[in-house]
Amino acid sequence: MNFDFAAAMRRALQLTRARDVVGATRVIQTALSGRRTADAEQPRPAGITVPQPPDRGVPPLIAPSVENIEELRSPLPRTDATKPHTETPDAGFPEARLRKPLGEVLERLREGKAKIGALDWSPALRTRRQPPPIPEGAHFLERSFACAAGARSYKLYIPASAPKKPRGLVVMLHGCNQHPDDFAAGTNMNALAEQYGVLIAYPGQARSANASCCWNWFRPTDQMRDAGEPSIIAGLTCELGSEFDLDRQQTFIAGLSAGGAMAAVMGETYPDLYAGVGIHSGLAYGSANDVLSAFAAMRGETGTARQTKPASKDTRLAVRTIVFQGSADATVHPSNAERIVAAVQAAATPHHAWEESGASTGGRSYVRSVLTSPEGDAVLEYWRIAGAGHAWSGGNPAGSYTDPSGPDASAEMMRFFFALLPTQTQ
């Protein structure tokens, strides 16, 4: 019985690490009843995706499975419940432990789960508020776009300040386990759309395309022009540009995490379509070409992905880029931002470089590096935010994965995007 109980507890711990608390509870209850269980002895087949509760921890860039979840999580610290009992060779646990009440055992498992998935989020970051109301005369429409590569739904914000002739368009790509309404609330971009008189489009990733609603930035077929998800996003952009009579100089794209990585893909594969790219906590184009290299890139490892050639019309066309990265990001290593910056520097012809340091009203310090063209226009801005994690800097707690204490990434992106455009005339 001791051997069976030890095996059951090891199995329960594995299930807890995989966030399957229901399965772990069932194994423990069976073990305490003295019955053998196939679930306690046989591992779950590899590759079965474990359901992830929304808005808990950091959104993974891909949907982890039982066999690869440990690549994203640090090992569970060993507690008394995971150490073998050495006083009696034939016993997995001392008899006293067998008499622990079920409630206490479950509490220990909950503590272990918390150690696996917890990050240093303040209560303010976990708070959810109602999103701001839509101003009179504005519209927040639900639409869809389809092409040969597939179809996606999206939300479109049309500001009351420019309902017929917007000044431009910003396409916003959400992170994993997010959706358009959530991302709109967290970035507060709709309010800035009123200020600038621009359209904001929020494409939504389909759960059928990725179990965690992540953009598939790491798949070769989704890193090419006129193929996969880039084709869908570009087609949506072109359709809106035609509908509202916008050109490239008025068209921009930005994203967070997996959305930031996909924004980098769009800037590389469609440099003739977008005049600016905003990447928040993302990865450089070509960082990965499969699941394993995606995990490695997220950890900051290099050289694991085969290079993918972009099928763009003009790869020499450098797209103005603004990058935001927190120094304490435990999901996407900050070195990824450095690689994004290096790629932009290699493609552009910067004339002058300078940097400044400061602190946001929320207390986070930052360093802002700027590269300018021979004409004096900024071609690259790089914001390094001290102590920030994997969250939208300066975001609204009404949305998920936001850090209200940082500098306002949304406001700075809009300033950067539209600085070279003439003022809107009504």
The answer for residues whose C-beta is within 8 angstroms of residue 412's C-beta and 6 or more apart is: 322, 324, 381, 383
Q: Counting beta carbons within 10 angstroms of the beta carbon of residue 405, is it exposed (0 to 12), middle (13 to 18) or buried (19 or more)?
A: buried
Element (H, E) at 316: none
Q: What is the pLDDT along the chain (426 residues), one digit of tens a residue?
A: 444 666 777 777 777 777 677 777 777 767 666 555 444 344 433 333 334 434 434 444 544 333 333 333 333 333 333 333 333 333 333 333 344 555 655 565 555 444 333 333 333 334 455 667 899 999 999 999 999 999 999 999 999 999 889 999 999 999 999 999 999 999 999 999 999 999 999 999 999 999 999 999 999 999 999 999 999 999 999 999 999 999 999 999 999 999 999 999 999 999 999 999 999 999 999 999 998 999 999 999 976 565 555 544 444 468 999 999 999 999 999 999 999 999 999 888 767 899 999 999 999 999 999 999 888 899 999 999 999 999 999 999 999 999 999 999 999 999 999 998 876 544
Closest CA to 187 of 198, 169, 172, 199: 172
Q: In degrees to the nearest 10, what's the CA dihedral of 42, 48, 53, 58?
A: 110
Q: How far apart are CA 318 and CA 305, in angstroms?
A: 23
CA nearest to 139, candidates 185, 201, 96: 201
Residue 363 Ramachandran class (φ > 0 left, ψ -120 to 50 alpha, else beta): left
Q: Let me know if domain 136-418 sits in CATH 3.90.1410.10.
A: no
Cβ-contact 180, 155 below 8 angstroms? yes
Using CA atoms, how far residue 147 sits from 144, 224, 254, in Å, is: 10, 15, 22
**CA atoms of 155 and 357, how far apart (whole Å):** 36
What's the rounded Cα separation, in Å, for the pair 121 and 322?
25
Distance CA 334, CA 283 (A): 9
Helix or strand or coil: residue 68?
coil
Boundaries of every domain in the chain: 2-119, 136-418
Q: What is the pLDDT of residue 12?
A: 75
Q: Which residue has the tokens 């993302």?
A: 282
pTM, entire model: 0.72
Could you tell me which of 142, 213, 166 has the C-alpha nearest to residue 400?
213
**How many other C-beta atoms are found inside a 10 Å radius of the C-beta of residue 209?**
16
Structure tokens at 219: 């798949």
